[in-house]
Chain A
Amino acid sequence: MTRISPETPAGAAAAAPAPWSIRLRDATVRYPNGVVGLNKISLDIEAGEMVSIVGLSGSGKSSLIRTINGLVSLSSGTLEVGDHRMDLARGRELRRLRGQIGMIFQGFNLAGRTTVLNNVLVGRLAHTSVARTLVGAYRPRDRQLAYEALDRVGMLERVYHRAAHLSGGQQQRVAIARALAQEPGIVLADEPVASLDPPTAHAVMGDLRRINRELGITVLVNLHLLDLARGYGNRLIGLRAGEIVYDGPAASATDADFERIYGRPIGDQDLLGGAASSASTASPVSLPGEPV
C-alpha cells in the first residue's frame, strides 16, 4: 500500500521522527458483546500536542487510545494518523504504522525474566527483519537507539538488569524507553501512573512531558486523576459514555468541568496530591533514583 507521506521511512535510515497528527471522523467502536466504546467521535489532535484524556472507567478513554494504534478497530468512521489511514491498514501495513506509535501501559507489560535491553529492543521489532529479531541479531543502530532511549529516562545503568528486578517506577521508565526506541510519531499512554505511588507518578508524568517538549512527539495520556490531567497536559479531553463532553485547555479546566465529565461531585479520591496541583508553572519533577 502506498501512501502520500513525505516521512515514510524508505528503510532503516528513517529520518528523525516527525510528530504525527490524529484525525478521527464519526469514529464508533462497538465491541462484540454490544458495548459501545466510542460513539461517533470526531477529534483533531495536531502534531506535537500533549493531551490528557480523562473520564471514569468505562467512559471510553481506553477504547480511544487503543483505537489510535489499531489494537481496537473501528466499527465505523475513519481514523488518520499522520497521513495514513489507520482504519484501512491491515497486516504488514498495520504493523508498520504501529511501529511508529509508541504505547505505555498501566501494568508496564515488560517481560520480567529478560533484560531491560531486550525489552527496549521490542520497540525495534517493526523496524527489523523477522529473521534478525528471532535470533536477537539487532543491528548496531537499533541497539544504539535503545541505549539512547534508556539514557533519556535515566535507566541506562540498568541495561543488563532483569526487568522484574526493577521497582514499579523504574519498570515504567523502561516501558517509556521501549516506546521511544520506536522513534515514534505518537506516544499513547493508558493510565501510565495508576499503579505507582505519588512521587513516582509525578516522575513518570514528568518524563512524558519531557519527551513531548524536547522531542516534539504527540503524546496522549489517559488519566483519571484531575490534578495530573490539569498539570501535565496542554489540552484536556473529557469522555463520558463514549462521547467527548469536554475539549479545551488543560490548565484552565475548572472543578465544575470535571464534575460534568465525571457526572458526580469530585473529591479527594480524584486527586493524587503532591507536586502537580500547582504544576502549571512548576518545574518537571525528577527523581534521580528511587529505592528498588
Chain B
Amino acid sequence: MTALNTAPRTSRTAPARPVTPPAKPRNPWRVVITVAITVAVILVFWSVKVDWARTVNLPADIARYLWLMFSNPAWDKVPEALWQTWRSVEMAWVGCLLGIVISFPLSFLAARGIGPAPVRFVLRGLFSLIRAVPEIVIAIVILSVTGLTPLTGALALAVNGIGTLGKWGYEAIEGVHPGPIEAVHAAGGSRWQTVRWGIWPQASPEFVSFWLYRFEINVRASAVLGLIGVGGIGDMLTSYTQYREWPTVGALLIVVIIVTVAIDLTSGAIRRRITEGSRVRDLA
C-alpha cells in the first residue's frame, strides 16, 4: 500500500503506433461440435413422427379450449378449490419441514472438513440418487405403503427435499470463508464449536433461503402430485378434467395460478431480503 506507483507512465504525446492484437486463437473443435449438434437436431426432428397436418388446427383447438375454460368459469367451485389448494399447501409445508429436519444434519456430515470421507461419499451419492428420481415416481413407490393420502405426497416431497436441500447445504458449508473457522481453531474450539461459531454464522442466511425456496418448489410440485390421487388441488383438477367440465377446470386453474404466484412472490421477496439485503448493506 505504501508502495507508490513507480511504473513509468506512458506519455500521452507519444507518437501513435499501430496496435496489432495477437492472432485470434482458432479452435477446430468448435466447427466439428457445431456441425455435429446441427446434424443431431435435424436427425431428431426427422425421427419423430409428427402429423404436421394436425398442427394446422392447433391454434384453433387451443383457442377453443381456452374459451371453454375461461369464458365462464364456475365461480361457485372456488371455495372448494381454495380448500383443496390449502390441503396442497399443507402437503408442501409438511414435506418441507420433514425434508429440513432430515437434511440439516446430513448436509453437515456430507461437507468436506466435517464428515469423514466414507460418510461423505455415501451421503453425496444418496443425495444425487434422490435428485435423479422425480417426486411423482417417489410418491408412486411409497403409495403402496401409505395409500392414497396427503401424507404420501408430503413424504414424497420430503424425500426429494433431502436430495436437494442436502446438496445445497453442503455446498453452502464448503463455500464459507475459512478465516472465521481458523479463528475458532486458534481459540481452542472443538469440531462442533467450529461448526457452530465458525461456519453456521456464515451459512445460516443461505440455509434459510434454501428452505424457503424448497417450500416454493413443493407448492408447485404438490399440485402435480395430486394427479396421482393423493389429494389436494391436483386431485380435484384431474377429476374435473376427466369429466370434461371445462368451466370448473378454468376456475381451478385460476385459483392454482394465483395462489402459487402469490406464494412464490412472497417467499422470493423474503429470500432476497435474507441474502442480498444483508450483502447490500455490508457494502455500504
Contacts and interface: CB of A to CB of B under 8 A. Distances in A.
B243 to A, nearest CB: 54
A130 B201 contact: no
Interface in A233-292: 268-269, 271-273
A109 B198 CA distance: 9
A197 B192 CA distance: 36
How many chain B residues sit at the interface, stated as a range, is: 20 to 34
A122 B182 contact: no
B187 to A, nearest CB: 5
B121 interface: no
A98 B185 CA distance: 8
Given A108-B179, A113-B202, A130-B193, A98 B186 contact: yes
A126 B204 contact: no
Contacts of B202: 111-113
Contacts of A98: 185-188
A182 B189 CA distance: 11
A178 interface: yes
Contacts, number: 99
B57 interface: no
B196 to A, nearest CB: 5
Contacts of A57: none
Given A133-B197, A268-B2, A122 B282 contact: no
A15 to B, nearest CB: 18
A31 to B, nearest CB: 17
A107 interface: yes
B2 A272 contact: yes
B80 to A, nearest CB: 45
Interface string B136-165: 000000000000000000000000000000
Interface of B: 1-4, 179-180, 182-190, 192-193, 196-198, 201-202, 204-205, 278, 281-282
